[in-house]
A and B are shown apart, each in its own frame.
Chain A
Amino acid sequence: MSILGTRVLRTEDPKFLTSGGVYTEDVVDDRLDGACHVFFVRSPLAHARINSVDVSAALEAPGVVAVYTGADLADLAPIPPSAAGLINTEMQQRLLATDKTRFVGEPVAAVVTEHPYQGEDAIELVSVDYEALPAVLGFDPSDDSLLYEAAGTNVAGYWGDASSLNPELFDGCEVVVKETIINQRVAPAPMETRAAAAVWGEDGRLTAWIPNQGAQGTKAELAKLLGIDESLVRVITPDVGGAFGAKFGADPEHVVTAWVARRLGRPARWTETRYENLIAMTHGRAQQHTVTIGGSRDGNVQAYRLEIVQDAGAYPRIGAVLPMLTILMTTGPYDIPKAESVAKVVVTTTTPIGAYRGAGRPEATAAIERAIDLFAAEIGADPADVRRKNLLAPFTEPHRTAFGALYDTGDYVAALDKALDAAGYAELRKEQAQRRASGDIRQLGIGVASYVEITGMGDGEGTPPQENATVEVHPDGTATILTGTSPHGQGHATAWAMIASEELGIPIDKITLKWGDTDLIPEGGGTGGSRSLQQGGAAVQQAAQELIELARLRAAAQLEANAADLVFDKSRSAFNVAGDPDASVPLTQLAENERLLIRTVFSQPGATFPFGTHVAVVEVDTETGKTSLRRVITVDDAGTILNPLLAEGQRHGGIGQGAAQAFLEEVVYDEDGNPLTTSFADYPIVSATEVPSFELADMATPTTYNPLGAKGIGEAGSIGSTPAVQNAVVDAVAHLGVRHIDMPVTSRRVWQALQAAQPGSEQ
């Protein structure tokens, strides 16, 4: 019986449950003996010139080994903006701020101490002479105060502009609705903060332990920023305590830690505090959407326009180019005859924006799902009916959208209907009607969101999306897999072992997965963009199958038979001559004289497009505005599911994070650019009491793009839930005249919306 598709418990768990994961701060290694500890002095101002840095007092503090400033790193090149051709190239970041600082939390100096407790004492003694400049904030920052004088503007880049828009787009629409919507800035806030441990060997090579989402990418970034050849860098990936998109590549602090180790000729370690993490790890989202949606009174959406402003933060990192993905997914799962989308990217004196679970795609979904609800409200139609009417019809041949996305397979109406059915939608609407009629203080809101999203999209530079895997069978009956993916909670050690086990007939507890060491696995795409199973898993399958074929030749020689006459019996993990089970040789025996391994690269024709519908049920206390999330029902169709236990876990986590953006989380800055949400007391990541148990309905429309039939599922949960919850809260008070409430739909926002809709009434 096949192990694929079954609920296999994770082989990694006993370690995590007993001695605990070994995260970067936990790593004990002879090479790190005698390590010094790096601490960062960070800018307390959003925007300032740095006139001077006085380190003399810090140098005298107990245990201080050294203090470095930007001047010490002058020979290292600055970090260029992402996608330099698209983004103004003047917008560069120095590893330690030198002439200017552009966000609260930017590293300005590095203090190195013998023991960790001495660092926080010493950083207080570094004295920086700042000359404050006006903060630059918001989606339409003026150019009066420039972050980059040489750029001459705070606009970092454009994809189209007003002149690209068709003024006649909505001609012929009986109904047109326009709204400006904020997709607010959030903090990825993985439970493990950023960290690094670095040491240079006598051979001049750097070994760096860094929590990351792809060691190969981190290595390339480190080498580039240190100005050395990649062959001199080895990145080792310890256990990673969550990432959510924010642990790709290398941040200035990682590079400085490595530089310190080289400069001092001794190992160096760094771990950031949660305060630092909340202000200096890249943030997510921060888009403003102006949506215009038009159509006929009977519910046909005929035109849609999405105008995006991306706040990239102070330094254009990957966040600055995410609007490209938002634009790509503009119309989502809908069949809208005319649609257009443009984007502008601005820099502000805030933390740089990076990738965060969904990275550009949740934004597109959130915008159109709000727009569909606004349209439905305008024509007085049920929002589920409007969706059903406008979703693309089911297709099995790839469907290309006007924005250039090639959806592989999809049946969006089926997903909608399945989710509504699982939710008991008609019953919910009845209950809502009853509560409305009786004027119940606690009103019921039902929110629907349909989505399609792009996963496994490759590096976007023309090569088809791909991943490598090496599978080796050992004479002792065990097997090893090397993968280019980089798990940080997704369970690849179990999942890839399942795939290999299925091909090799070796039990999963005898299969070990290795990843994240660039000396062992020089190439790999890491884990992000929900790519790992469809490409990394498929690569493991391909490698295992190719290994069986290689082994077959050896078996044929050993059994003195024709390869074509041999069968591989998975239940015994052995080859035998067809019809003669006793003429057999175990697979592992074929590894005795010569290593038995295959390295392969699996290429996929393109990205895949999972899809689904989320239904959220909320109760809103109309006196206080407080929302209680009662139910979330989802269909997340990511094709064939390899391990339902793991897939459900990904969906749960995505739903929790997505819902949290809708009604709880927001990074807040005051008007001087000071962050106000700098701890977990202020930044409210969701606890177990704010969310219910989730209801997952299953649907699997396989892709033809890989033999596993798998699309990506890691981000889908967070894409559908955010608009579903937002729509639900608005729906709860729609009968009281509320049309829109921006996220997070906090109790205060709901109450203010109620006041605005019904002025003068004390709720």
Chain B
Amino acid sequence: MAKIQFPASSSLADINTIVSQYEQADGPLTSMGNDGTYTTLTFNAEADLPANVAVVAAQVNNQPVIPPNSVVVCTGTIFIAGTLTPAAATRAN
């Protein structure tokens, strides 16, 4: 299990970049959250690589925004541009 911290000031685009890199080179995203200082993300290198990388987005009214033909991978409160934000990661089928 890769357990990483990502700077709180990171933009949503940067968060998606790091998620994309780990999902391609390590394994699928399994959880996200925060430790009060950083966004925390975990990836499972024992699992097969996903066909499509996960995409992180802020929730709306505390509900994940799920694009068509996608499923929720995980949800958690993460830092987006310095603000703790409920977010969800989805993956296209």
Q: Do A and B bind each other?
A: no
